[in-house]
Chains A and B, each alone.
Chain A
Amino acid sequence: MAIGEILLLVFVFVIAGFLGVELISKVPSQLHTPLMSGTNAISGITIVGAISATAVALHTDGMLSNICGFAAIVLATINVIGGYMVTDRMLGMFKKKGDDKK
């Protein structure tokens, strides 16, 4: 990895961090749980890393790394699919109220 690439990654890291701070302000309290659960699903982005790492592992000998990678994909998928579906279920309940109002 060239020094330029490393610095660029660090740059992106810091900017994304500050962006996260700016995104969350004045969230109504009833949305705290869905927000937590929704961002939790996003942290399942590690699935991308898991797929990539598993592919690298498959280039080499040794079963342990393959299994580790496989488990990482399974766990991240549970996090992603489960997280999005639970969040949607929660938010779907809020939706009903809006329909009642009309």
Chain B
Amino acid sequence: MTFDNIRTICTTILYMISSVLFIRGIKLLGKADTARKGNLLSSVGMLIAVVTVLFEKEVTSTISFGPAQNAYIWTIAAIALGGIIGAVWSKKVEMTGMPQLVALFNGFGGLSSLLVALTQYMTDKNINIFSSIALGLTIAIGAIAFTGSIVAWGKLSGKMFKKNVTIPAKNAINGLLAFVGLVGVVIYALSIAGVVGADIGKIGVIIVTCAYLVLGLTMVVAIGGGDMPVIISLLNAFSGLAAAFAGLSISNSVLVVSGCLVGTSGLILTLIMCKAMNRTLYNLLFGSFGSTKKGTAGEQKEPKSMSVEDAYLILEAASSVVFIPGYGMAVAQAQHAVKELCDKLEANGAEVSFAIHPVAGRMPGHMNVLLAEANVPYEQLKTADEMNPQMSNTDVAIVIGANDVVNPSAINDESSPLYGMPIINAFEARTVFVLKRGKGTGFSGVENPLFTNDNTVMIYGDAKQTVTQLVSEFED
């Protein structure tokens, strides 16, 4: 057996081990008790895969080159740089800013796959028709994942693309871009097959890169911020798929396995999220949510508002209180104050629970993470299904920065864009407090009739301040 054969056997076995660790890791990530272990396992798998590639022939053969062409020097420098950036960002990010960070990381993953394909295009002399098609598709999917994630990041962090841009004939434009890009892939493949020249093939690569970079932008920019969790999940699936196609193109099995695992599991997760919001993926991508919703204006009642002191008197008399948190709680960083208020209410003899809508916040589970950070016990966090039957026996429901997830239009107004979405039935509680900064609509832009109900009182102001004031009222 030659040295090269032994090397191939060893690297294949190591890639196999790392693939198995990824599979186990994803499986364990889906269960509450084992999730952290699952994440650790998959990171070990990643380490094994990275170390293994350093022993591949194309990498080891650069060791005799000078420092400027030694792959180890380039790799270690790049990993050190990327590692520091990634570590600092993930340490520094506030838990509230996490959804956009995940979107940003995902965009980097997509861009990385795109660059891998371009690097291979520029240097690999052994590209055949099969790998050229895979390479073209890597560019396409990587590009969508990149620009799409950047737009999602901008929308979530409020830095860019805040307004929902309505693109006229959106589907036609997107369809055309997708088609033109695929034509680019075909042109490139034809140039590899020798039908057309290499120069025309180059044009094909440029076409697919540009078309899909633009497509990521036009696809996501028209989608409302409220749907961003689903979009991030979908783009996550895309960046996995891009890695898988990159694997097909450079014939690396570990890339194919783990990329494809992420691609399809991400797609399933996307569908689960869509279901929780009663949306279909088709509707989300091709529907025009933003344009037809203003029809249901009807008569406008002014919501009632109340001072913190009066709210305190009601809370003091309450024997059961439900908190319904939303993204506003995250923005105001109110979770610790909420926990304090929760303790005060319990000391006062009230039964307190938290009703968490599956898509409250900007990502599913976002509220759970925040409340966990504030040490709210797990048993107090209830799902919408658990909480709704008890809602009519609840004295006070406190809605903190949530809007669409408590909008009764979802139940009783067929013309509402939210119609059919499962909500938390806050309106059934005897009294509803809504802590809100101003009179604006929710992320979806839909009016909320809950706010003008007779049993609803608005407490305007920063959620954290309001809650802190309530806490100090209890202390007096």
Contact = CB atoms under 8 A, between A and B. Distances in A.
A25 to B, nearest CB: 7
B252 A48 contact: yes
Nearest to A44: B109
Interface in B198-253: 232-233, 236, 239-240, 242-244, 246-248, 250-253
B43 A84 contact: yes
A13 B39 CA distance: 23
Contacts of A32: 233, 269, 272-273, 358, 363-365
Contact of B250 (A20, A27, A52, A83): A52
Interface of A: 1, 5-6, 9-10, 12-13, 16-21, 23-60, 62, 64-66, 68-98, 100-101
A33 B364 CA distance: 6
B254 to A, nearest CB: 6
Interface residues of B, number: 120
Given A13-B244, A48-B53, A56-B58, A43 B106 contact: yes
Contact of B261 (A5, A37, A42, A71): A42
Nearest to A5: B251
Contacts of A43: 106, 109, 236, 239-240, 242-243, 258-259, 262
The dominant DSSP class at the B interface is helix
B43 A53 contact: no
Nearest to B130: A6
Contacts of B102: 33, 36-37, 40, 83, 86
A57 B232 CA distance: 32
A46 B36 contact: no
A23 B233 CA distance: 16
B456 interface: no
B82 interface: yes
The dominant DSSP class at the A interface is helix
B49 A48 contact: yes
A86 B93 contact: yes
Contacts of A55: 56, 58-59, 61-62, 71, 75
Given A58-B71, A81-B83, A46 B242 contact: yes
Contact of B42 (A13, A28, A41, A46): A41
Nearest to B243: A46
5 contacts: A50-B119, A56-B124, A80-B46, A88-B36, A96-B372
Nearest to A100: B377
Nearest to A91: B36
A41 to B, nearest CB: 7
A1 B123 contact: no
B282 interface: no
Interface string B71-89: 1001101110111011101
Contacts of A74: 78-79, 81-82, 85
A48 B116 CA distance: 10
Nearest to B21: A42
Contact of A79 (B112, B247, B264, B369): B112
Nearest to B271: A24
A88 B105 CA distance: 15
B193 interface: no
Given A17-B263, A50-B116, A1 B86 contact: no
A73 to B, nearest CB: 4
B108 interface: yes
Contacts of B53: 48, 51-52
A68 B255 CA distance: 19
A38 B42 contact: yes
Contact of A52 (B36, B42, B86, B252): B252
